[in-house]
């Protein structure tokens, strides 16, 4: 589910469209914090895609927590 | 004169304040009697870590009709506000485009779409610095914010990009159903379209969702809807997921 980059960052391997998986991850993540409302992209309020600690990459996102 | 103002300072991991800054700038223009503003919009740009964005790559923009003598006053005010509201690690940039003074608007629009779809260097943005009708300001850090700011100004000029700040609320009733004419009469929405970009008639019914966002299409405040596949109401406001293209 996660790959580790050369920089030691955790990148989600499911890409940008795995809505159910990232909602499940975020629900169980103590570090989840909702991003600015204008930056949200997922319908599920609690989702890595809506988290202020995600950083988009070309294929997916990196978790900064 | 009509101006397009855009800012980008999204380097801050815990930030997300560019939208607030844009709103403060519109407030200053109106409170000081410099002119009238439109609502700020958020424009998505190319999401890549090499753009220098820690969190996301978006920029904010709005247009304003201002008296020509207030342009420099506004620029000074905006630069000061953006500098003072940034954090030590932000790379804030401000761009102002004045189409009536520009020789070639299309080259700015081409640039804007390039920034939306791929990596663009700061030098590409700086190539516009000496062109008439374009004002660029590197306000903190590396100044790379001018790349996104200039793009957001161009995207706003297209009239077909971006989402507006905040959520639209027509009624406190959950799943409220309204006609298109009621929506247009009671909110700032100017048109309602389905996801195929077809206009929805004034007497058609729309179920208002929990989180209703307005987008910029045809230079109008636009509410996007999708079919419910039932007889009544025929339409439902589009979800966050559906609107991610804007």
Asked if B167's CB is within 8 angstroms of A38's CB, the reply is no
Nearest by CB to B240, from A41, A53, A55: name it.
A41
Give the model's pLDDT for residue B27. Answer: 97
Residue of B nearest to A35 (CA): B16
Domain membership of residue B239 as a residue range: 166-245
Length of chain B: 246
- Domain boundary (B133, B161, B189) is at B161
In angstroms, rounded to a whole number, what is the distance separating the alpha carbons of residues B180 and B175?
15
Backbone angles phi, psi at B194, to 5 degrees: -90, 175
> What angle is formed at CA B113 by the lines to CA B111 and CA B117, rounded to 5 degrees?
115
Tens of pLDDT along A14-59?
A: 998 999 999 999 999 999 999 887 788 888 989 999 998 888 887 8
Residue B55 near chain A (CB below 8 Å): yes
Helix (H) or strand (E) holding B43: strand B41-44
- Total structural domains within chain A: 1
> What angle is formed at CA B239 by the lines to CA B177 and CA B152, rounded to 5 degrees?
120
Residue of A nearest to B14 (CA): A52
Q: How far is CA A9 from CA A53, A54, A65, B78, in A?
A: 12, 11, 10, 36
Q: What is the ipTM of this complex?
A: 0.70
B153 plus B99 within the same structural domain: yes
Q: Judged by CB atoms within 8 Å, which residues 144-183 of B form the interface with A? A: 163, 165-167
Confidence of residue B49 (pLDDT cuts 50, 70, 90): low
B14 plus B127 within the same structural domain: yes
Q: Check pLDDT > 60 for residue B16.
A: no
B142 plus B170 within the same structural domain: no
In angstroms, rounded to a whole number, what is the distance separating the alpha carbons of residues B135 and B129?
6
Backbone angles phi, psi at B195, to 5 degrees: -70, -10
Q: How many CB atoms lie within 10 A of CB A15?
A: 12
Tens of pLDDT along B165-199?
A: 888 989 999 999 999 999 999 999 999 999 999 99
In angstroms, rounded to a whole number, what is the distance separating the alpha carbons of residues B5 and B18?
12
Q: How far is CA B20 from CA A18, B64, B88, B111, B166, in A?
A: 31, 17, 18, 26, 11
- Domain boundary (B98, B133, B161) is at B161
- Name which of A63, A52, A65 is nearest A2 in CA terms: A63
B155 plus B172 within the same structural domain: no
Q: Tell me the two tokens of residue A54.
A: 């995600």
Residue A34 near chain B (CB below 8 Å): no
B64 plus B106 within the same structural domain: yes
Residue B26 near chain A (CB below 8 Å): no
Give mean pLDDT, residues B45-60.
Answer: 69
Tens of pLDDT along B89-129?
A: 778 899 999 999 999 999 999 999 999 988 899 999 999 99
Length of chain A: 65
Asked if B56's CB is within 8 angstroms of A56's CB, the reply is yes
B171 plus B152 within the same structural domain: no
- 8 A C-beta contact, residue B7 and residue B59: yes
Q: Considering chain B, what percentage of its residues have pLDDT values greater than 70?
A: 93
Q: Check pLDDT > 60 for residue B10.
A: no
In angstroms, rounded to a whole number, what is the distance separating the alpha carbons of residues B226 and B234?
8
- Total structural domains within chain B: 2
B75 plus B124 within the same structural domain: yes
Domain membership of residue A10 as a residue range: 2-63
B141 plus B213 within the same structural domain: no
Q: For chain B, count helices (H), then strands (E).
A: 6, 13
Residue A53 near chain B (CB below 8 Å): yes
Which CATH number goes with the domain that contains B128? 3.30.70.2200
- Domain boundary (B126, B142, B161) is at B161
Q: Tell me the two tokens of residue B121.
A: 């260097």
Tens of pLDDT along B207-225?
A: 999 889 999 999 999 999 9
Q: How far is CA A20 from CA A3, B28, B157, in A?
A: 19, 43, 36
């Amino acid at each position: 589910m996660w790959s580790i980059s050369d920089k030691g960052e955790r990148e989600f391997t499911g890409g940008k469209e795995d809505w159910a998986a990232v909602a499940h991850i975020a629900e169980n993540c103590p570090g989840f914090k909702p991003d600015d409302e204008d930056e949200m992209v997922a319908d599920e309020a609690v989702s890595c895609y809506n988290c202020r600690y995600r950083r988009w990459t070309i294929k997916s996102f990196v978790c900064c927590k | 004169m009509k101006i397009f103002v855009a800012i980008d300072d999204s380097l801050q991991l815990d930030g997300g304040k560019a939208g607030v800054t844009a709103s403060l700038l519109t407030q200053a223009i109106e409170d000081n009697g410099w002119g009238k503003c439109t609502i700020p919009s958020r424009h998505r740009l190319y999401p890549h870590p090499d753009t220098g964005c820690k969190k996301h790559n978006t920029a904010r923009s709005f247009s304003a009709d201002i008296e020509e003598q207030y342009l420099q006053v506004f620029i000074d005010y905006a630069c000061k506000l953006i500098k003072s509201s940034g954090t030590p690690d932000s790379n804030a940039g401000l761009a102002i485009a004045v189409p009536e003074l520009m020789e070639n608007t299309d080259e700015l629009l081409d640039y804007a779409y390039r920034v939306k779809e791929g990596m663009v260097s700061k030098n590409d943005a700086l190539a516009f610095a000496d062109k008439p009708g374009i004002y660029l300001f590197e306000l903190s850090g590396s100044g790379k914010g001018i790349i996104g700011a200039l793009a957001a100004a161009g995207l706003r000029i297209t009239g077909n990009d971006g989402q507006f700040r905040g959520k639209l609320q027509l009624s406190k009733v959950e799943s409220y159903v309204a006609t298109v004419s009621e929506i247009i009469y009671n909110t700032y929405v100017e048109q309602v379209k389905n996801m195929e970009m077809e206009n929805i008639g004034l007497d058609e019914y729309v179920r208002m969702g929990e989180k209703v966002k307005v987008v910029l299409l045809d230079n109008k405040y636009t509410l996007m809807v999708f079919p419910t596949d039932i007889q009544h109401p025929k339409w439902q406001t589009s979800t966050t997921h559906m609107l991610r293209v804007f």
